[in-house]
Amino acid sequence: MLKQVYPKCDVSRPLEGAYLALNLHQQAAEGDVLVYANYIASLDGRIALFDEVLGEYTVPKSIANGRDWRLYQELAGQADVMLTSARYFRQLAEDKAQDLLPVGSGEKYADIKAWREKQGLKAQPDVMVLSHSLDIPLKALAKVQDRQVIVLTSSQDEAKVDALKQAGVQVLQTNDVTGQFVRQALIDLNYRSAYLIAGPQVHSTLMADSCVDELFLTTHFTLLGGTKVSGLVDANLPQAQSMRLLSAYLDADQQQIFQRFAYVK
């Protein structure tokens, strides 16, 4: 059970459904889109540590857990489209990705799939990829052929663009992939809910233009330390970003707290 500590106290509820009940796909105003991000962080603010064996930043096993992953899936269940980076597809091609882009398979997530169907949503959210390099393995794209893939890029490498288009990918080119460009592309494509699952670089790009609406942050009560670390924002911002707490649930079983924030604009 979860214990709500804000805005109400001493209200308990099951983990399952805690986020699914938010109906995020219905919250955007007509002609707009709700963009929301999600991370799990340690008590000292690390979302990833550098893995010397893999040669890249990864979520530490000491904070990753199935209860947080359940709510990750519930957020995916409400998305029209998921925002990610080319790095995910490179990991997918090498079988290093944490999971195939949700909604996940198996009995544990059957209720989320049934919920999407009842809401009139497609079986899986579409995928929007932000990539400057277009270093996206085509064999990884083959694993998501059951959904629309859109790539936003500043690359002028027409050979790579043509290869992606031939693979069925919609490519939108611009001089600079800014947060405003991403948000307008989402609106133009008639998306109402967009789930940001990329790392801090993409997060920072959208934040710089005030193009993220909500943040779902799981804080695990663990100190990780380390010098090669990644946080929620690993870039300069035009100004400090104020946040407003919308809700918080204590998960005593896993020693973590689930927080929902609004970006103050």
Q: What pLDDT digit, counting tens, does each position of 137-195 carry?
A: 888 887 787 889 999 999 999 999 999 999 899 999 999 999 999 999 999 999 999 99
> What is the separation of C-alpha 40 from the centre of its chain, rounded to a whole number of angstroms?
11
CATH number, position 99:
3.40.430.10
- The residues that bridge with 50 in the sheet, in sequence order, are 57
pTM for the model stands at 0.94
Contacts of 222 (CB under 8 A, 6+ apart): 42, 43, 62, 63, 255
Number of folded domains in the chain?
A: 1
Structure confidence at residue 76 (pLDDT)? 95
Range of the domain at 178: 2-263
Q: Are 153 and 177 in contact (CB under 8 A)?
A: yes
What values do phi and psi take at 168, rounded to 5?
Answer: 90, 10
The per-residue pLDDT for 206 is 95
Residue 67, C-beta contacts closer than 8 angstroms, at least 6 positions apart: 15, 251, 253, 254, 256
Q: Which residues of the chain have pLDDT under 50?
A: none
